[in-house]
Amino acid sequence: MQTQDVITERQSDAAAGDVVLKVQNLSLDFRLRTQVLHAVRDVSFELRRGETLCLVGESGSGKSVTARALLRILDKNGAIASGRVLLSGKHGDIDIATLNERSPELLKIRGGRIGLIFQEPMSSLSPVHTIGSQIVEALRLHRRMDKKQARAETIELLRQVEIPNPDKMIDRYTFEFSGGMRQRAMIAMALAADPEILIADEPTTALDVTTQAEILDLIKRLQVSRGMAMLLITHDMGVVAEVADAVAVMHFGRIVEAGSADAIFHDAKHDYTRRLLGSTVKLEQNQRATTHAEPAATTREPVLSVRNLSKLYGASAGWFGGGSHAIKAVDDVSFDLYPGENLGIVGESGSGKTTLGRLILRTVEPTSGTVTYFGQGEPVDVTALNKRQLKTFHRDVRLVFQDPFASLNPRMTVKEVIGDPLVVSGKAKGAALEKRVGELLELVGLDPMAMERYPHAFSGGQRQRIGIARALALDPKIIIADEATAALDVSIRAQILDLLLDLQKRLDLSFVFISHDISVVRYFCDRVAVMHRGKLVEMGTAEQICTDPQEPYTKSLISAVPNPDPRHKRMMHRTRFTA
């Protein structure tokens, strides 16, 4: 292996902060059943005071285990094969890699000198203790405070992470906090012992885009004000561009490229870095605007028309005066879908976008409103269909699921999975079925020979292709894609979107594309509907929504999306929305 340096004199001289942590040639091995996985190979990097290093890579690149190895919290079957992790101290460097698993030095470092923030704040906070008591425990352990001091310090910490009413919230339990608040509490806990190094492992992946912007903002400010070194692990190039000083790109266990954020984004040398950036930047443009003439919406007949659709949960008009506590998951939503059009439905979690998709398919029964389908000659009121008629409707309007693992029956071969709708509707049998399944597999870019395999033999992206093939089996008119690309890596995501666009051209489909990811919607859709708390707040062309939003909520949503360019950080001057 050869490492090439592309530095100028000036850059190498300008070593800003002192090095706090030095990782040298770290290699991690994991024992699997029949083989050893070299999850991390020969990785070296430095963390400097006041600087943020982003480890970026797709799933399976070894970025998370690298961070875990720094604290020696690897799973049982993993081990440090070679390399050193040097933590600088007053009395020279400590090599964390050689410390005993239960030695007091290591316990002091964990949480004391290195703080850690996990991806999923719900599972990393104890559900049976109050938020305060968990932070107090960390303070008493690492800073030897008495109860009273610790409590005062905890309130101060909660204030620092901008939790409102910290003196009240300290006695609340985890489930009483929202996702963003939990992550704030988690940050407060990581900061409790005043660490020199903060490791954040995908800290915002589970959060909505506006919350993500706030949390990133907070982490960045705290890091700067406390002069901590930070190691941020993420798969999102946009997040990297917003917060990173230095970037290391990991691919299959190696750091393939490392450098300053500017150098990585604007002068990428390695093919993989370029590919990663390419697929991220690609999603920043609208594919449809360039390939597709603007549909003259007013002159055409819609294929699907939704009018005043609502869904109330918990609205039992019962004896206890029910209805007051009803949650309006979908509140008076109306829109039209035109033939050959891609309509995006964007919203944060809890905005009702998934429920809306299910209401159209009537897997969830609407409380009021109508859905009219025009694809079968005369208009059909979907909300009034009986079971048998609904089956006919489901042949024309198909669903593509979010999770490519849960949506394929693991006990059926690919042929059985894709062929199932054909068998059920009696459209094909025996050799004809096999031929049709082969065609469908070819259509979605898979080898027809793979028909006899089981889903577990395929990667996430391939499985999503199988799911798409199943949706196409009955020659549908409309496909509802519910977060169809959310579970995929960014490079696979672009491939799947291109596949869907290609299929649309060939098969004359219309898409209802439900997503929380603005960039995906921008790439894929003609028109976008923005949902917020069950209501449709704004609707317009993809370009107009993304570049010139009118409603305040849409403005805040769009401005919170990280921009994958360190020279144009978007989040720092974003619009905030309070409602």
Partner 1 sequence: MIAHSFIDEAPETGPAVSALKAGKPVETAAAGPWRLMWAKIVRNKVAVVAGIIILMLYLIGLFAEFLAPALPDTSRPQFTNAPPQELRLFATQPDGSQQFLLHVTGYTMSVDQASLRRSYVIDESQVVPIGLFVKGAPYKMWGLFPADVHLIGPLKTSDTMYLLGTDKLGRDLLSRLIHGTRISMSIGLIGVSISLLLGVVLGSISGFYGGWVDMIIQRVIEVISSMPTIPLWLGLAAAIPLTWSPLTVYFVITLIVSLFGWTGLAREVRGRFFALRSEDFVTAARLDGSSERRLIFRHILPSLTSHILAVVTLALPTMIVAETALSFLGIGLKAPVVSWGVLLQDAQNVRTIANASWLLIWPAGAVVLTVLAYNFLGDGMRDAADPYES
3-state DSSP of 174-188: HHHCCHHHHHHHHHH
Binding to partner 1 by residue 12, rule CB under 8 A? yes
Q: Under a CB-based contact definition with an 8 Å cutoff, are residues 419 and 437 in contact?
A: yes
Alpha helices (H) in 110-235, listed in sequence order: 121-124, 131-143, 147-160, 166-169, 179-191, 209-226
Which residue among 300, 411, 435, 567 contacts partner 1 (CB under 8 A)?
411
Q: Under a CB-based contact definition with an 8 Å cutoff, are residues 228 and 48 in contact?
A: no
215 to each of 90, 260, 440, 473, 566, how far by Cα in Å? 32, 23, 44, 43, 18
* CA pair distance 77, 391, nearest whole angstrom: 49
Site mask, partner 1, residues 41-60, x = CB under 8 A? x---xx------x------x
* CA pair distance 253, 251, nearest whole angstrom: 6
Task: Name which of residues 459 to 488 contact partner 1 (CB under 8 A).
Answer: 467, 470
For residue 247, the minimal CB distance to partner 1 (Å) is 8
Binding to partner 1 by residue 11, rule CB under 8 A? yes
Q: Under a CB-based contact definition with an 8 Å cutoff, are residues 370 and 308 in contact?
A: yes
Q: Closer CB to partner 1, residue 371 or residue 545?
A: 371
Which residue among 273, 286, 287, 342 contacts partner 1 (CB under 8 A)?
273
Side-chain half-sphere of 123: how many Cα atoms within 13 Å?
5
* 87 φ/ψ angles, rounded to the nearest 5 degrees: -105, 120
For residue 219, the minimal CB distance to partner 1 (Å) is 20
Task: Name which of residues 412 to 451 contact partner 1 (CB under 8 A).
Answer: 413, 420-421, 424-425, 450
* CA pair distance 252, 65, nearest whole angstrom: 12
Q: Closer CB to partner 1, residue 32 or residue 128?
A: 32
Q: Closer CB to partner 1, residue 53 or residue 382?
A: 53
Binding to partner 1 by residue 1, rule CB under 8 A? yes
Interface region with partner 1, contact rule CB under 8 A, candidates 80-88, 144-152, 410-418, 500-508:
410-418
Site mask, partner 1, residues 361-390, x = CB under 8 A? x-x---------------------------
Comparing CA positions, the residue from 427, 420, 417, 405 lying closest to residue 451 is 417
Which residue among 4, 290, 298, 324 contacts partner 1 (CB under 8 A)?
4
Structure tokens at 88: 């600088």
Q: Closer CB to partner 1, residue 413 or residue 563?
A: 413
* CA pair distance 343, 459, nearest whole angstrom: 28
Task: Name which of residues 491 to 530 contact partner 1 (CB under 8 A).
Answer: none
Alpha-carbon dihedral angle through residues 96, 102, 107, 109, given to the nearest 10 degrees: 0
Binding to partner 1 by residue 409, rule CB under 8 A? yes
- Distance from the Cα of residue 315 to its chain's centroid: 32
Number of residues that bind partner 1 (CB under 8 A): 76
Interface region with partner 1, contact rule CB under 8 A, candidates 1-9, 122-130, 320-328, 433-441:
1-9
Which residue among 173, 313, 374, 454 contacts partner 1 (CB under 8 A)?
454
Which residue among 50, 220, 252, 569 contacts partner 1 (CB under 8 A)?
252
Which residue among 9, 35, 290, 324 contacts partner 1 (CB under 8 A)?
35
For residue 462, the minimal CB distance to partner 1 (Å) is 11
Task: Name which of residues 325 to 364 contact partner 1 (CB under 8 A).
Answer: 361, 363
* CA pair distance 579, 577, nearest whole angstrom: 7
Residue 423, SS3 per DSSP: helix
3-state DSSP of 241-279: HHHCCEEEEEECCEEEEEEEHHHHHHCCCCHHHHHHHHH
For residue 417, the minimal CB distance to partner 1 (Å) is 8
Site mask, partner 1, residues 230-249, x = CB under 8 A? ---------------xx---
Which residue among 168, 429, 456, 576 contacts partner 1 (CB under 8 A)?
456
Q: Closer CB to partner 1, residue 227 or residue 410?
A: 410
Task: Name which of residues 63 to 102 contact partner 1 (CB under 8 A).
Answer: none
Buried b (16+ CB within 10 A) or exposed e, 320-331: eeeeeeeebbbb
Which residue among 265, 335, 373, 401 contacts partner 1 (CB under 8 A)?
401
Which residue among 171, 271, 381, 508 contacts partner 1 (CB under 8 A)?
271
* CA pair distance 143, 134, nearest whole angstrom: 14
Residue 124, SS3 per DSSP: helix
Q: Closer CB to partner 1, residue 368 or residue 392?
A: 392
Which residue among 260, 495, 544, 575 contacts partner 1 (CB under 8 A)?
260
For residue 329, the minimal CB distance to partner 1 (Å) is 17
For residue 354, the minimal CB distance to partner 1 (Å) is 12
